[in-house]
Amino acid sequence: MFHERGIVAKGALAGYGVNYREVGRLSAKHVQRVLTGTSPKDLPIENTDRLELILNLKTAKALGLTIPQSLLIRAGELIQ
C-alpha cells in the first residue's frame, strides 16, 4: 500500500492518498493570482479534501488475490 499513483502504476498493489495533480492545480492557481497582483496575504487557504484509491489489477492477479467488487467500485482508478 502506497500513497502515490506512480508507484502503483509501476507495480504496487494499491495506493491511497491525495491526487498530486490536484495539488499542483491549486498551487498554480495561487501562483497565477500572485503574478497578476494579488497579495499573498489575500489568498484563501485551499486544500484538497479528496483521497484517491488506485488498484493495480495486474499485481493482484500475480499475487493470486481477488479484489472484492465493493472495493473496485470505490477505486478512482484501476490499472490493468
Range of the domain at 50: 5-79
Q: What confidence tens digit (pLDDT) does each residue in 22-73 have?
A: 899 999 999 999 999 999 999 999 888 888 999 999 999 999 999 999 999 9
Alpha carbon dihedral 20, 21, 22, 26, in 10-degree steps, equals 100
Q: Compute the average pLDDT of residues 2-28.
A: 91
- Cell readout for 73 is 467500485
For the beta carbon of residue 54, count every other beta carbon within 10 angstroms.
Answer: 23
Q: Which residue has the cell 489489477?
A: 57
For the chain, the domain total comes to 1
Q: Alpha-carbon distance 70 to 52, whole Å?
A: 15
The pLDDT score that the predictor gives to residue 5 is: 86
